A and B are shown apart, each in its own frame.
Chain A
Amino acid sequence: ILNVEQSPQSLHVQEGDSTNFTCSFPSSNFYALHWYRWETAKSPEALFVMTLNGDEKKKGRISATLNTKEGYSYLYIKGSQPEDSATYLCAFNFGNEKLTFGTGTRLTIIP
């Protein structure tokens, strides 16, 4: 069984502070790692798709890094804003037709 682990499960961050959280995945047979943001009452929105060891991706104040050899990815949010409140999901693919999702990190920004 190939599992994707995310930590922490939930996080409260003061507005303006920076934060990060972790996605761990099996390091063998790596193909792609996805990050999604899922706001309440909306659909999951793709943030990044990462495929190469050492990849770093950035979208505004959000960035992600990937280490396929040790099996982890970090998501960073700089200067958190209330609109960053959401559940952040990572998902792993090892070359077949499906994504295996973690249970997510629920981020709440405190104004």
Chain B
Amino acid sequence: DAGVTQSPTHLIKTRGQQVTLRCSPISGHKSVSWYQQVLGQGPQFIFQYYEKEERGRGNFPDRFSARQFPNYSSELNVNALLLGDSALYLCASSLYRNYNSPLHFGNGTRLTVT
């Protein structure tokens, strides 16, 4: 079975640009979460989507948005990129919405903003 897949693996953008990151969950998983990981810190929660609806949002500005499609894949969009948005963006899927279920992570998208 395929795991969580994310694309692209690496991305270089300049300040002010917009970026879209994509994630395909494990087949049968309806919950998708996005996390941002900056070097030296643990992953920080950005969004959770379940059954195509936003179920939670972390402490990130409105420049960050996401959506989940009928096939449960998800996109994370970041507008007006800042240098501080440079990070590894991790997508994770889980079978259930609650956190008794372990998260299954993708390999991440490394975003560099110059």
Provide the residues of chain A in CB contact with B106, threshold 8 Å.
43
- Nearest-CB distance from B95 to chain A (Å)? 12
Does the CB pair B42–A89 fall under 8 Å?
A: yes
Provide the residues of chain A in CB contact with B90, threshold 8 Å.
43-44
Does the CB pair B107–A93 fall under 8 Å?
A: no
The 0/1 profile, CB within 8 Å of B marked 1, for residues 88-108 of chain A is: 010101001111111110000
Does the CB pair A101–B48 fall under 8 Å?
A: no
Q: Does B4 contact A (CB under 8 A)?
A: yes
Task: Give the contact-size bracket for chain A.
Answer: 20 to 34
Does the CB pair A91–B42 fall under 8 Å?
A: yes
Q: Does A32 contact B (CB under 8 A)?
A: yes
Q: Does A13 contact B (CB under 8 A)?
A: no
Q: Known: A89-B42, A100-B45, A102-B42. Contact between A32 and B56, CB under 8 A?
A: no
Provide the residues of chain A in CB contact with B108, threshold 8 Å.
43
Give residues in A with beta carbon < 8 Å to B: 4, 31-32, 34, 36, 42-46, 49, 51, 89, 91, 93, 96-104
What 3 A-B pairs have minimum CB-CB distances, sorted nearest first?
A97-B56, A101-B42, A46-B102
